[in-house]
Amino acid sequence: MSEQRALVIGEALVDVVEHADGRCDEHPGGSPANVALGLARLGRPVDLLTWLATDAYGKRVTAHLEAAGVHVLTGDRSPAHTPVARARLDALGQASYEFDLTWDLPASSDGEGDAPLVVHTGSIATTLLPGGPAVLREVTRRASHSTITYDPNARPALMGTPAQALEVVQEFVRIADVVKASDDDLLWLHPEQEPDEVAARWARSGPALVVVTHGAQGAFAATASGARLRIPAVPISVVDTVGAGDSFMSGLIDGLWAEGLLGASSRTALHGIDEETLRRVLDRCIRIAAITVSRAGANPPHRTELEQA
């Protein structure tokens, strides 16, 4: 039997992090790439289909991902330069972003064997033209064979108005089996509604599971079967929040994987996930995100670190 793998589709880039005290650091990043990195560090075989140049930044990002075990898929085209995100941190470590990037979806020249167990996408890759519609088509094509996970990970500077972004987000929510969003994402998309109520409504529209992260207040989950669950955060000294949501997403995929709830053949079981299983998965996601925010940059934990913690 061939190895079960995850496929992540989306942007990889360089995060230039400007600290409140004037320091500046550079880290490989990009929300989907961070999810792939997190999965690899948790011991999951993962391919990343992305849009990287062959410049110095591109080589640095590729080396960083491959060192963790991510298989970066080659494509038929590439950008002129590797995308860059500039993250400005306030005194509490909260990040705001500016971007210098393009996004398109290359046709992969490998990774087209057996269907992946799970396909994840989200963020800039799903909304930025010209690649966004191609990602939607690719995910739709794969939905009959793979679990689909999605994180809108809103970037208002690149996604137009909330109404414009919401049209795209709703397309992916309808296709997805699992959705993870932050409270900030949902407040931007639906400023007059409580994020958890939006999540509960989304869970009635197709996904088996919708999870909202609330930072220091923990997380909320709503299932298609009507279950509602709140999980408290782990007290932690925050260095910065870069990559926290992405590491939570990695943990969510990994946890559902460990419970045998991924893959098209497990779709019915995923829709029937019980509260005890969901709590076990989300408790672990919270711990993974806590480790990530305790250190600089998008630096998710390895499985051994998580077990030791």
DSSP H or E run through 279 = helix 275-293
pLDDT (0 to 100) of residue 1: 43
Q: Which amino acid makes up residue 11?
A: E
Assess if residue 1 is contained within a domain: no
Split into its structural domains, the chain has a count of 1
What does the DSSP 8-state code read for residue 223?
A: E
pLDDT (0 to 100) of residue 262: 98
| Alpha carbons 240 and 29: distance in angstroms, whole number | 14
Assess if residue 17 is contained within a domain: yes
Closest-CA residue to 303 (of 40, 15, 102, 87) = 40
Q: Which two tokens stand for residue 264?
A: 């098209």
Q: Which two tokens stand for residue 226?
A: 């009507």
- CB under 8 Å to 155, separation ≥6 — which residues? 97, 99, 123, 124
pLDDT tens profile 50-61: 999 999 999 999
| Alpha carbons 40 and 44: distance in angstroms, whole number | 5
Cα distances from 100 to residues 13, 16, 51, 155, 189, in angstroms, run 10, 11, 13, 13, 23
Under DSSP, is residue 89 helix (H, G, I), strand (E, B) or coil?
A: strand
> SS in 3 state form for 151-206?
ECCCCCCCCCCHHHHHHHHHHHHHHCCEEEEEHHHHHHHCCCCCHHHHHHHHHCCC
What does the DSSP 8-state code read for residue 75?
A: B
pLDDT (0 to 100) of residue 113: 58
pLDDT tens profile 148-181: 999 999 988 888 899 999 999 999 999 999 999 9
Query: Checking DSSP bridges between strand 219-223 and strand 209-213, what pairing results, if any?
Result: antiparallel
Under DSSP, is residue 264 helix (H, G, I), strand (E, B) or coil?
A: helix
Stretch 21-50: mean pLDDT: 93
Query: Checking DSSP bridges between strand 6-9 and strand 118-122, what pairing results, if any?
Result: parallel
What does the DSSP 8-state code read for residue 20?
A: T
Assess if residue 78 is contained within a domain: yes
Tell me how many helices (H) and strands (E) the chain has. 11, 13
Residues 229, 192, 87, 62: is their CA dihedral positive or negative? Answer: positive
| Weakest-pLDDT range from 18-22, 253-257, 260-264 | 18-22
Domain that includes residue 24, residue range: 6-108+115-308
Under DSSP, is residue 4 helix (H, G, I), strand (E, B) or coil?
A: coil
Q: Which amino acid makes up residue 99?
A: F
Does residue 76 have a pLDDT over 80? Answer: no
pLDDT (0 to 100) of residue 108: 62
Look up the CATH number of the domain holding residue 43: 3.40.1190.20
Under DSSP, is residue 301 helix (H, G, I), strand (E, B) or coil?
A: coil
Assess if residue 136 is contained within a domain: yes
Closest-CA residue to 296 (of 28, 13, 10) = 28
DSSP bridge pairs for 113: none
Assess if residue 19 is contained within a domain: yes
pLDDT tens profile 102-122: 899 987 654 555 789 999 999
